[in-house]
Structure 1
Amino acid sequence: MIVDGLAQSARFSRLSTIHSQPSTLRALLELKVAFVKPALFPATVSRSCLFVINGLGMGNSTRCHAVMEPLAEAGFQVHVLTSGNGLTYFQDKDCIESLTPMESYFYSGKDGGISGWSTLKSIHSLAKIAKTKKAQLGKLLDQFRPDVAVIDSEYSVAPLRRRGIPIVGLNTSEIIVTEYLKRRSVPRGIRSHFWFVEFSDYLFHRHYCDLVLSPFPLRTRTRHRKFKRIGLIARRAVIEKAKAAPVRGLPSPRGLRDVVFMLSGSVHASNIAFDQHQIPFQIHVVGRPGESRGNVLYHGRQMDNTGFLARADALVINGGYSAVSEAFVLGKPVFVVPVPGHAEQFVNAQLVSDLGLGFVATEADVLDQLLGMYAQDCWTGLKPRPPTFEIDGAREAAEAILSSIKGAAPEGTGTRYCTSP
């Protein structure tokens, strides 16, 4: 069982406050490690886990954070190598021992969308970034050897493989491939992104990882034995807020008071033209700067958006899997605006519609859809939901990571299901 009784990790100390092991400190400073905790240098250390996270968007960081918490409570020392938004997100998280910056990959596209062809044309630039990332990872591994590494949307794994460190992937590519190939018709604009990016992502994880954890709201079979289905991964704070909310059905559209537009975390977040509509309820825009007017309030970039999620009567989100997962946990009506040309976000949006959680929209029509349903006081076209969704993926992932290390056979209990309202 994942140990609940272990003491919570101490607050972070900056490198300047640590006075022991000067040679190790000098090495870490050369790596530009953002911070470490004093507990990193005891005479004997417990098991350790390195998370290597693409920090381009926020979703990878929130998903990994949810898994880190039970690992830390089980006595693991958790280290993070990340970039971009990930560095900001993790800088005050108590469950990690060290935070180290690395270079970041990127998607290519045009007109605010994603293009597989454009990404393929950027292969030389991406290869240079990959070389830098391998060197950064290798330097960090020269200073300490984790018992296991967890990767989320990162691909520079050669230094891990050379050292024989088990690699566990947190990844949805197998789900995307399965769901995409089920569909009889898909938009032409996402095909290049699917084959060049998503299918390649699936092949990479199938070949280079020892185990891949695929969060999904229902128990279904995987395409290959290396992949393991687990429940959806959501932050602990989101699950707690969902539990604390009164059990009730969906609000009627006319009952909407607060609608949260959570278009944050990625450089490809959507732009919605609010000034062209009369808004009868309050809209909270999270992740975008702007001038608040009337019923539209801008809250800018938020590292912790759980308060907004809890107060929302309905959500408008992009199609990132972490945002979609937390929408499933909260059980509120959702409008998903997938980034144009992004195959994964297209599939995620279709899942939301197919499983009765909400609707697929675009930047141009999302307000028209929402206001039209408000005027009719009807969630037009909403499909029936399954009775329950699997939402205990964070605990399941932590147990799988523990089990990936020889000699660990953890058990645990948790919140396995949430009931559809």
Structure 2
Amino acid sequence: MTNKTLFSVYGYGLGHATRSEAIMNALRGEVRVAASENAYDYFKQKGRDPVRINSFKIGNIMKSFSWVQTLFENVDFPFNMIADYNIIKRLVKDFKPGAIVSDSEPVSLLYADTAGITNYFLSNMIPIIKEYDNIPSKLKNNKLDSEKAVVNMLLNQVLKKTNYILSPTMNHYNMGSKVKFTDLIIRKKAGDLEPVKKFPDDFILVSFGGAKITNEYYNSVIPVLKKIKKEHFIVSTNHAVKRRTKTRNLTLYPFINNYLSTLKCCKAVICLAGHGTISESLVYGKPCFTIPIEGHIEQLTNAAIIKERGFGKSYFFKHDIKESELEKKIKEFLDKLGDYKKVIKKAGYKGKGDVECARVIEKDLK
């Protein structure tokens, strides 16, 4: 079998791209990548010569995730799916991989099954099923129940088609031999980072990522942070401000390029409930205050895990963020940072999921 691996990466946001690249760097064989949207741009900037695919799309949905809007965004998906299938087919013919890693990208999974190529499906969908009951009842409705049913159906189909699911998740479950749970995946180990010197010694990092969906979060959260005057907050605003802006207890940046070095130096994080951000925070030993996207079932379950495991606190809201409630929750979080840090340390995350995934893949490439 050839010692080559093809990655096909779903591209909304950058979480899929960064974790896939971490595995690529840990693999000892040759790698090629196909990717959509932001992931394509990311790999192009990294010099990996990616091949563009279409995949499915998520609309500019601001505060709330909507399956209806997502379906409207994907009316042409059947045609894109055919095009993507042919792109993957040509890429396989040219590259001749021994395995295909599908990072939440379905077309490469279907092609691998048809072509008889070993497939690894990289996904965090299992906690959605296992942790759904821990989502606050006030947020559950027919829509969210339907999303859980869809995810469960997708998981069952993936289990039928793939050779293995690689699941770098906070919690591990008994799912049989097809599912390989690993440690969390991060971009860089803390020991490989230089500390940043331009920030105060004791600060809270606030970052809601680089997607358009997050802009309104800053408008809701920043007024609350201004009221918590005893703390200093470093805020990466996704270019909501044009230049560095400083107030009494806030320093706002258009974007923090050395995010991981900044994360390493902070004492806690306020963020969305994306899996990549949470993974890096926990491996670096940082308590998390998460504000999950309303109606986004994966983020809601991630936030529920943070709360249930004692890794931090989560603010679940319905329709609108209420400033008084958010302020109270953040203050409660800040009062218990020491307790959260002890729990995180005991959990023992090392950020070795990339290497663990790579070794699983390499066993079949030999």
Question: Do the two structures share a fold, i.e. TM-score over 0.5?
Answer: yes
Cα drift, residue 152 of structure 1: 0.8
The aligned counterpart of 1:399 is 359
> Is contact 2:292-2:299 (8 Å) kept?
yes
SS at match of 2:218: coil
CA 1:64–1:367 in structure 2 vs 1: closer, same or farther (change >3 Å)?
same
> Is contact 1:355-1:384 (8 Å) kept?
no
Match of 1:209 among 142, 156, 162: 162
Match of 2:294 among 340, 348, 362: 340
Matched, 1:272 2:228: no
User: C-alpha deviations, 1:314-363, integer Å up to 9, x for none?
Assistant: 11111111111111101112111111101111110111112221110255
Cα drift, residue 185 of structure 1: 4.2
Q: Which amino acid is 1:148 matched to?
A: A
Task: State TM-score, norm by structure 2.
Answer: 0.81
Cα drift, residue 77 of structure 1: 0.9
Matched, 1:160 2:120: no
Q: Number of aligned pairs? A: 344
The aligned counterpart of 2:81 is 130
Matched, 1:259 2:187: no
The aligned counterpart of 2:347 is 388
Cα drift, residue 122 of structure 1: 5.6
> Is contact 1:288-1:298 (8 Å) kept?
no
The aligned counterpart of 1:90 is 43
SS at match of 1:124: coil
Match of 1:147 among 98, 102, 109: 98
User: Which structure would you say has the larger RCO, counting Cα contacts within 8 Å and 6 or more residues apart?
Assistant: 2
The aligned counterpart of 2:273 is 319
- Larger-Rg structure: 1
SS at match of 1:60: helix
Cα drift, residue 301 of structure 1: 4.6
C-alpha separation in 2, matches of 1:380 and 1:236: 25
C-alpha separation in 2, matches of 1:300 and 1:184: 34
C-alpha separation in 2, matches of 1:152 and 1:298: 33
* Alignment gaps of 5+ in structure 2: none
Q: Which amino acid is 1:283 matched to?
A: F
SS at match of 1:213: strand
C-alpha separation in 2, matches of 1:381 and 1:186: 27
Q: Quick one: percent identity of the two aligned structures?
A: 22
C-alpha separation in 1, matches of 2:335 and 2:125: 37
User: C-alpha deviations, 1:129-175, integer Å up to 9, x for none?
Assistant: 32232232223223221111111111113333332221101111122
User: C-alpha deviations, 1:356-386, integer Å up to 9, x for none?
Assistant: 2111025545851465348x84559969726
> Is contact 1:313-1:333 (8 Å) kept?
yes
Higher helix share: 2
Q: Which amino acid is 1:225 matched to?
A: S
Cα drift, residue 401 of structure 1: 0.7
SS at match of 2:180: strand
Alignment of 1:144-293 (within 5 A): 144-157=95-108, 158-181=110-133, 185=137, 187-189=139-141, 190-196=144-150, 198-218=151-171, 220-238=172-190, 240-241=192-193, 257-269=202-214, 271-273=217-219, 274-275=222-223, 277-280=226-229, 281-286=231-236, 288-291=238-241, 292-293=245-246
Task: State TM-score, norm by structure 1.
Answer: 0.72
C-alpha separation in 2, matches of 1:383 and 1:284: 20
> Is contact 1:191-1:343 (8 Å) kept?
no
The aligned counterpart of 2:33 is 80
User: C-alpha deviations, 1:261-300, integer Å up to 9, x for none?
Assistant: 2211433225223246335343333251123341433433
